[in-house]
């Protein structure tokens, strides 16, 4: 692990502990060359997941892309980037729990909707409209009705 300061690959670990969510180990390191202290995170490597897009092409699942998509479409309706981070983390866990190695982008969209359903009605409808490409007001109304039905 290269020191970010002097780029020498020689450090000792001075502290190790689980990160907040238990998914990662956080290590405090000290560079043996310049004594700079820095932090590294060690995560379990997750198997690659292919996303099948609407046009039939495939690309690797990328949590940063999902974060960006949620942020762009409904970020202003959610409380903070932390909330989006949490939402994306839950979707990502759900995806990996499915144990599949490919998934349609639409299913990911549905999982995001499931998360939004319990959080924010405006964000739910807005996200649905973006990823399902609503073409009419009726589609909005149907989506809203479906959301209210699942709540009651
Ligand atoms: Zn160094």
- For the chain, give every domain's residue range: 11-43, 50-151
Given a cut of 70, whether residue 101 has pLDDT beyond it is yes
Report CA(43)–ligand 1 centroid distance (Å): 23
Averaged pLDDT of the chain: 86
Residue 12 alpha carbon to ligand 1 centre in Å: 11
- Looking at the predicted structure, is the pLDDT value of residue 23 above 80? no
R_g of the chain, CA atoms, integer Å: 20
Enter the pTM of the model: 0.65
Return the residue matching tokens 């039905």: 149
In the reported structure, the alpha carbon of residue 44 is separated from the centroid of ligand 1 by a whole-number distance in angstroms of 26
**Strand segments (E) across 44-87:** 50-52, 58-60
State the Cα–Cα distance between residues 86 and 53, nearest whole angstrom: 24
pLDDT bucket at 21, cuts 50 / 70 / 90 = low
Query: For residue 136, is it left (φ>0), alpha (ψ between -120 and 50) or beta?
Result: beta
* Of 50, 100, 91, residue with least CA distance to 67: 91
Decide: 53 and 69 in contact? Cβ < 8 Å. Answer: no
pLDDT mean over 89-106: 90
Higher pLDDT, 92 or 46: 92
Tell me which range, 38-47, 86-95, 122-131, is most confidently predicted by mean pLDDT.
Answer: 86-95
* 99: region left, alpha or beta (phi > 0 left; psi from -120 to 50 alpha): left
CA of 66 to the centre of ligand 1 (A): 35
pLDDT above 80 for 134: no
Confidence of residue 6 (pLDDT cuts 50, 70, 90): very high
Residue 28 to residues 5, 44, 65, 89, Cα–Cα distance (Å): 15, 18, 29, 24
């Amino acid at each position: 692990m290269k020191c970010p300061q002097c780029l020498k690959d020689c450090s000792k670990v001075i502290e190790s502990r689980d990160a907040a969510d238990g998914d990662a180990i956080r290590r405090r390191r000290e560079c043996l060359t310049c004594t700079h202290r820095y932090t590294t995170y060690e995560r379990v490597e997750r198997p690659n997941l292919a996303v099948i897009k609407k046009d039939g092409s495939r690309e690797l699942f990328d949590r940063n892309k999902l974060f960006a998509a949620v942020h762009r479409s409904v970020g202003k309706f959610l409380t903070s980037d932390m909330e989006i981070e949490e939402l994306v983390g839950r979707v990502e866990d759900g995806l990996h729990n499915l144990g599949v190695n490919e998934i349609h982008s639409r299913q990911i969209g549905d999982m995001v909707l499931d998360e939004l359903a319990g959080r924010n009605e405006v964000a739910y409808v807005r996200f649905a409209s973006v990823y399902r490409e609503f073409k009419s007001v009726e589609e909005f109304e149907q989506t809203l009705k479906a959301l209210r039905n699942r709540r009651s």
